[in-house]
Structure 1
Amino acid sequence: MKRSFIREILESIDEETISFAGGLPSEKLFPIKDLQKASNKIMSQQKVFQYGLSNGIKQLRAKIAQEYTNDGFATNEDEILITTGSQQAMYIIAKYFESKDITIEAPSYLGAMNIFRLNHLNMKGIKLENDGVHISDFKKSFKETKLAYLIPDFQNPYTSTYSNKKREQIAKIVKKQNGILIEDSPYTQLFFDKKPNSISSQIPNNSFHLGSFSKTLVPSLRIGWIRASKELIDSLMIIKESIDLHSCGISQYILDEYLNDRKKYEKHLQDIRDDYKQKADYFCKMLDKHLPSFKYKKPKGGMFIYGGFENIDSFELVQKCIKQKVVFVPGNQFYINKQTNGEIRFNFTHSSFEDIKKGIKLIAKCL
């Protein structure tokens, strides 16, 4: 096991460095005053400081379940498990399937891959296309593994969004094999035009659907969740209880109080979408102007832009860029065998327009 390249990069750079590396939301969009009000309101209640239920406080689970139901995916609070961020959700599920084979996308989320390695899951990568995984390859692999991990909405790092056709095909494959889909959806609410429908809604008893408030609200609350059948949730609870008994109660109560004003949260989400779309458009404009040899597809949402150069080692390039005070994540970090390539993942959400322009011009200089 090695540490995450992204976490190491974030620790090694200084405040003068322009970072397109981490998947950091914009701090300017944090609803600080509203969270302060929610915090002040719950801090006078004794129950907030007591041990809580392993699956999370009931009223917060009910709110999350209601959102699924509103989207046409019937869910109740017993089908929700609150976790300490989406990262813990993946760890719990990986521990549940320890030492199994698993089908993943290529490229895939670095954090998930590290968790799978730690729990001895044998990963089999399937090439991603602009509308999702290569279906025939996925079908062949899933027939053997009976387990898959996918990020269908604004995929990290590739930024692709699965087509409705491929979502239906994947659901049919999973159901036919009576397997399990781990559907990771931290970016679903960050759509620029239209919110995608989950694959899990088509196979509610054969899926774990993962969500998080880290990208839509604030990361430091560390509140994520798993949506699955009650039978599967009960199986995961044994693992959850062995890790931390329950996720932070104070964070859950603050979040639950904040979410009581649903209209305010909806406005907050729309503000994020508007801001991120403007930044994505500007980032693409600067790429076209200063790095015309960088080939990419414009994202439909999320937090990243992914593409590549021909005949360039992006890992070597980032070492030069660090010295010039700009950083990104080279694409080889998102593959199982970390093969050399010219691919790059850029994060556009955390930087100002000024830093986006300056950072891309510095990369062009290093190139």
Structure 2
Amino acid sequence: MKRSFIREILEAIDEETISFAGGLPSEKLFPAEDIKIATLKAMENPKIYQYGISNGINELRTQIAARYTKEGFPTTKDNVLITTGSQQAMYILAKYFEDKDITIEEPSYLGAMNIFRLNHLKMEGVKLENDGVNVEAFENSFKNTKLTYLIPDFQNPSATTYSDEKREKIADIIKKYDGILIEDSPYGELFFDKKNVSMSSKLPKNSFHLGSFSKTLVPSLRIGWIRADEELLKSLMIIKESIDLHSCGISQYILTEYLKDEKKYEKHLQDIRDDYEKKANFFSEQLNLIMPEFKHEKPKGGMFLYGTFGDGIDTFALVQECLKKKVVYVPGNQFYIDKIPNGEIRFNYTHSTFEQIEKGIKLIKSCL
């Protein structure tokens, strides 16, 4: 096992470094005053200081369930398990499916891949196309593994979003072989145009849908969740309880208080979408202007922009040079099972200012 390249990079840089590496939200958009008000209100409840139940406080699970139901995916609090971020959700699931084979996208989320390795899941990569995984290759793999991990909305790292057609086809394949989908959706609310229908809603008995407040509210609360069939969730409770008994009660009560004002949260989400869309467009424009040899698609949501120089450029070697000039990104080889160097890069555009974006791209260009 090796540590996450991204976490190591974040520790190695200083405040002068322009970082396009981590998936960090914009700190300017944190609703600090509203969370402060919610915190003071939550502190009036003496239960906030006590041990809680393992699956999460009832009111928070009810609030999350109501959002699913409103979107056309009938859900009750018994379908929701609160976790310490969606990273813990993935760990719980990986421990539950320990030693099994699993079909994943390539490229795929580095954090999930590390968890799968730690729990001895054998990963089979399927090529990710511009509208989702290659369907034929997916079926050839899934008919054997019967377990898959996918990020259909603004995928990390590629920013790819699955087409409606591929969502239907992949869901049909999972039904055909009576397998299990782990659908990771931390970016689903960060759409610039429209919100997509989750694949899990087509597979309520055969899916685990993972969500998080880290990208939409604040990361430090460390609250995520798993939405699944009640019987499937029961299988995970022993693992959850063996890790931490329950997720942070203080964070849960603060969130519950904050989410009582649904209109305020919806306005906050729209503010994030508007800001991130402007930054995504600007980042894409600057790449085309300053570094046109880097081929990419403009994001339609999420937090990342992905592309490639093609053959001949080793972006893992390039980032070592960029570090010296105080600009960093994540080389694409980190998101593949074999880690062979390639010409691909994942950029995070949400945390930087417009000035930092322009300056950072120019520094990378100077290192080429």
TM normalised by structure 2 equals: 0.99
Task: Determine the structure 1 residue equivalent to 2:35.
Answer: 35
Task: Determine the structure 1 residue equivalent to 2:255.
Answer: 255
CA–CA separation in structure 1 for the residues paired with 2:294 and 2:364 = 11
In the TM superposition, what whole-angstrom CA distance separates every residue of 1:4-60 from its partner, at most 9, and x where no partner exists?
000000000000000000000000000000000000011122111000010000000
In the TM superposition, what whole-angstrom CA distance separates every residue of 1:115-139 from its partner, at most 9, and x where no partner exists?
0000000000000000000000000
CA–CA separation in structure 1 for the residues paired with 2:309 and 2:282 = 20
TM normalised by structure 1 equals: 1.00
SS at match of 1:148: strand
CA–CA separation in structure 1 for the residues paired with 2:113 and 2:213 = 21
Q: Find out whether 1:22 has 2:27 as its counterpart.
A: no
CA–CA separation in structure 2 for the residues paired with 1:6 and 1:42 = 34
SS at match of 1:53: coil
SS at match of 1:263: helix
Question: Which blocks of at least 5 consecutive residues in structure 1 are unaligned?
Answer: none
SS at match of 1:188: coil
Task: Determine the structure 1 residue equivalent to 2:158.
Answer: 158
Task: Determine the structure 2 residue equivalent to 1:346.
Answer: 347
SS at match of 1:351: coil
Task: Determine the structure 2 residue equivalent to 1:210.
Answer: 210
CA–CA separation in structure 2 for the residues paired with 1:124 and 1:348 = 30
CA–CA separation in structure 1 for the residues paired with 2:309 and 2:27 = 31
Matching residue's letter, 2:113: M
Structure 2 matches for 1:158-237, cutoff 5 A? 158-237=158-237
Task: Determine the structure 2 residue equivalent to 1:104.
Answer: 104
SS at match of 1:90: helix
CA–CA separation in structure 1 for the residues paired with 2:199 and 2:24 = 26
How high is the sequence identity, in percent, across the aligned residues?
A: 73
SS at match of 2:67: helix
Task: Determine the structure 2 residue equivalent to 1:314.
Answer: 315
Q: How many residues align?
A: 367
CA–CA separation in structure 2 for the residues paired with 1:160 and 1:31 = 28
Structure 2 matches for 1:70-85, cutoff 5 A? 70-85=70-85
CA–CA separation in structure 2 for the residues paired with 1:51 and 1:355 = 44
Q: Which runs of 4+ in 1 moved over 2 A?
A: none
Q: Offset at 1:197?
A: 0.6
Task: Determine the structure 1 residue equivalent to 2:324.
Answer: 323
In the TM superposition, what whole-angstrom CA distance separates every residue of 1:255-306 from its partner, at most 9, and x where no partner exists?
0000000000000000000000000000001000100000011111000000
RMSD: 0.4
Q: Offset at 1:325?
A: 0.5
Question: Which blocks of at least 5 consecutive residues in structure 2 are unaligned?
Answer: none
CA–CA separation in structure 2 for the residues paired with 1:23 and 1:46 = 35
Matching residue's letter, 2:296: Y
Matching residue's letter, 1:359: G
SS at match of 1:105: strand
In the TM superposition, what whole-angstrom CA distance separates every residue of 1:195-214 from its partner, at most 9, and x where no partner exists?
01100000000000000000
CA–CA separation in structure 2 for the residues paired with 1:260 and 1:200 = 26
CA–CA separation in structure 2 for the residues paired with 1:176 and 1:50 = 46
Task: Determine the structure 1 residue equivalent to 2:142.
Answer: 142
SS at match of 1:82: strand
Matching residue's letter, 1:364: K
